[in-house]
């Protein structure tokens, strides 16, 4: 895909050779790092960047050099509070460095060593992707504290779960709306340009090339980490998967797919309308799901209810696994094998004998009313059938409009599919 994930503020590294420049002691420096670091954002966005595009991580702490600022203080509003490209003040306004360390030869050295090379790499990534695709989307990846820090201009509290930052020139409105809708559908609150606004664009393209698109995603730290002891919450992996799913869906719907996007294939049996099989290629890119246990895979990806499965036979019959493996991690190869050898669907719907859990979307299609795709035809995505023993429903695809509806439904679940009839 034509996505570039920019992660500027996740590092806490301050090279030893520059530590003498700071006017605060070690404990104060640690506190400042706790306040100003976008904790775990590299991990939070990592699965999305690995499966959907490329990433660029700034290697040192923003307390030494902030790559998100304009290098000329005259152009940078935050320089007025001592937080330009080189910080001289803390989040509380106290001295962080002597002003001499942000000027002259000290400034030239730090910008030449860290700032300009980083922006050159960002430019090169964008340029490289433009040569392969019509448009490029930069995802500017951040987090923010749940309570405003003293230096912040936006003082509202409580804060939203997600902040989306935009640029009038480089952020398409439909990208903003799709991201907002996606996060809201996952139960998260969203604000646009509050408490932070804007997004990064390489200076060579800034206000010049509309095909270089950019949007900022800021995640409230309270929803994924303990801000006092700097540890991940149990919700971390869930938030991580939500981010990946919403970004994927937005990229698909707004055509940030690039030329070489891998195609997943949904094979539909047209000769037996009561059966749909999923080929293993549906999840070729198994990294989409990250690292999961069998329990997480069955309950969160397939949305299976495990409570009723009380014996060994049920687990083996329904999922092809021994219940003792539920807490084991599963690899991409195992997921592929599961889909290839175990997962399929039939039309039999019975609460006492549930069908095999191949993919949650198909289960939903099996149990909905007719014509969910909206094409006003009963031979679309699903049909209902009356039998002597009651009503049966099965998944069926016949026309192009129904197929397009199903593709969009899969995109909403974070998977791009190509439909083939066999």
Residue range 65-91: mean pLDDT, rounded: 96
**Residues 200, 177: Cα–Cα separation, whole Å:** 19
Task: Please give the sequence-ordered ranges of beta strands (E in DSSP) within 17-83, or none if there are none.
Answer: 54-57
Q: For CA atoms 373, 376, 381, 385, give the dihedral sign.
A: positive
Cβ 166 vs Cβ 199: under 8 Å: yes
Task: Please write the tens of the pLDDT for every residue from 206-243.
Answer: 999 989 999 999 999 999 999 999 999 999 999 998 99
388 and 320 together in one domain: yes
Domain range holding 18? 3-253
249 and 268 together in one domain: no
pTM of the model: 0.65
181 and 54 together in one domain: yes
The last residue of a domain, from among 234, 253, 272: 253
Q: Is residue 385 one of the residues assigned to a domain?
A: yes
Among residues 195, 28, 182, the alpha carbon closest in space to that of 97 is found at: 28
Task: Please write the tens of the pLDDT for every residue from 178-209.
Answer: 999 999 999 999 999 999 999 999 999 999 99
84 and 28 together in one domain: yes
- Strand 382-387 and strand 390-395: pairing? antiparallel
Residue 156's pLDDT band (cuts 50, 70, 90): confident
Q: Is residue 230 one of the residues assigned to a domain?
A: yes
Task: Please write the tens of the pLDDT for every residue from 346-390.
Answer: 333 333 333 333 334 443 443 333 343 344 443 333 333 334 444
Q: Which helix (H) or strand (E) holds 367?
A: helix 360-367
Q: How many residues does the chain have?
A: 422
Q: How many domains does the chain have?
A: 2
Task: Please write the tens of the pLDDT for every residue from 258-280.
Answer: 544 334 444 444 333 333 333 33
85 and 129 together in one domain: yes
217 and 335 together in one domain: no
274 and 248 together in one domain: no
Q: Is residue 362 one of the residues assigned to a domain?
A: yes
What DSSP line would sit under 112-153, residue for residue? IIIIHHHHHHHHHHHHHHHTTSS-EEEEEEEEE-SS--TT-S
Average pLDDT, the chain: 76
Give bridge partners of residue 231 from the DSSP assignment. Answer: 226
- Residues whose CB is less than 8 angstroms from the CB of residue 71 and which lie 6 or more positions away in sequence, other chains included: 85, 111, 115, 116
Edge to edge, what strands does the sheet with 344-345 contain?
344-345, 276-277, 264-268, 417-421
Task: Please write the tens of the pLDDT for every residue from 304-329.
Answer: 666 544 454 455 445 555 666 677 77
The last residue of a domain, from among 253, 288, 315: 253
The last residue of a domain, from among 253, 276, 297: 253
Among residues 152, 5, 104, the alpha carbon closest in space to that of 86 is found at: 104
211 and 337 together in one domain: no
Q: What is the CATH number of the domain that holds 108?
A: 3.40.630.40
Cβ neighbour number for residue 350 with a 10 Å cutoff = 8
138 and 278 together in one domain: no
Among residues 66, 69, 87, 84, the alpha carbon closest in space to that of 22 is found at: 87
Q: For CA atoms 96, 98, 104, 110, give the dihedral sign.
A: negative
63 and 93 together in one domain: yes
151 and 187 together in one domain: yes
**Residues 345, 222: Cα–Cα separation, whole Å:** 40
Q: Is residue 334 one of the residues assigned to a domain?
A: yes
Q: What is the pLDDT of residue 349?
A: 32
- Residues whose CB is less than 8 angstroms from the CB of residue 147 and which lie 6 or more positions away in sequence, other chains included: 157, 159
Q: Is residue 259 one of the residues assigned to a domain?
A: no
Q: Is residue 258 one of the residues assigned to a domain?
A: no
């Amino acid at each position: 895909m034509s996505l570039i994930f920019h992660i500027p503020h996740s590092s806490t590294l301050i090279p030893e050779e520059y530590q003498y420049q700071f006017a605060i002691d070690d404990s104060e420096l640690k506190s400042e790092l706790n306040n100003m670091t976008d904790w775990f954002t590299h991990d939070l966005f990592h699965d999305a960047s690995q499966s959907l595009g490329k990433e660029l991580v700034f290697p040192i702490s923003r307390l030494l050099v902030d790559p998100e600022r304009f290098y000329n203080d005259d152009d940078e509003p935050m320089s007025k509070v001592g937080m330009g490209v080189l910080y001289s003040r803390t989040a509380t306004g106290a001295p962080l460095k002597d002003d001499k360390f942000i000027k002259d030869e000290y400034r030239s050295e730090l910008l030449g060593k860290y700032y300009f090379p980083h922006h050159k790499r960002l430019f090169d990534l964008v340029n490289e992707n433009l040569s392969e695709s019509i448009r490029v989307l930069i995802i500017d990846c951040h987090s923010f504290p749940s309570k405003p820090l003293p230096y912040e201009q936006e003082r509202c509290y409580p804060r939203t779960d997600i902040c989306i930052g935009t640029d009038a020139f480089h952020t398409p409105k439909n990208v903003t709306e799709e991201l907002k809708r996606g996060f809201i559908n996952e139960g998260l609150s969203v604000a646009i340009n509050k408490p932070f606004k804007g997004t990064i664009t390489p200076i060579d393209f800034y206000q010049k090339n509309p095909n270089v698109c950019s949007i900022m995603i800021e995640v409230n730290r309270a929803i994924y980490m303990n801000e006092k002891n700097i540890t991940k919450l149990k919700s971390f992996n869930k938030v991580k998967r939500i981010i990946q799913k919403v970004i994927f869906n937005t990229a698909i719907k707004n055509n940030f797919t690039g030329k070489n996007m891998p195609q997943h294939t949904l094979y539909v049996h047209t000769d037996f309308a009561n059966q749909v099989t999923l080929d293993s290629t549906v999840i070729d890119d198994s990294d989409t799901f990250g690292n999961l246990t069998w329990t997480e895979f069955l309950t969160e990806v397939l949305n299976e209810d495990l409570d009723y499965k009380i014996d060994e036979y049920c687990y083996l019959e329904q999922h092809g696994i021994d219940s003792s493996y539920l807490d084991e991690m599963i690899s991409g190869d195992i997921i592929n094998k599961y889909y290839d050898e175990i997962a399929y669907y039939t039309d039999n719907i019975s609460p006492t004998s549930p069908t095999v859990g191949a993919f949650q979307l198909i289960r939903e299609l099996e149990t909905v009313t007719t014509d969910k795709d909206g094409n006003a035809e009963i031979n679309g995505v699903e049909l209902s059938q009356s039998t002597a023993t009651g009503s049966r429903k099965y998944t069926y695809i016949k026309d192009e409009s129904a197929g397009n509806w199903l593709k969009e439904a899969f995109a909403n679940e974070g998977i791009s599919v190509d439909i083939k009839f066999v």
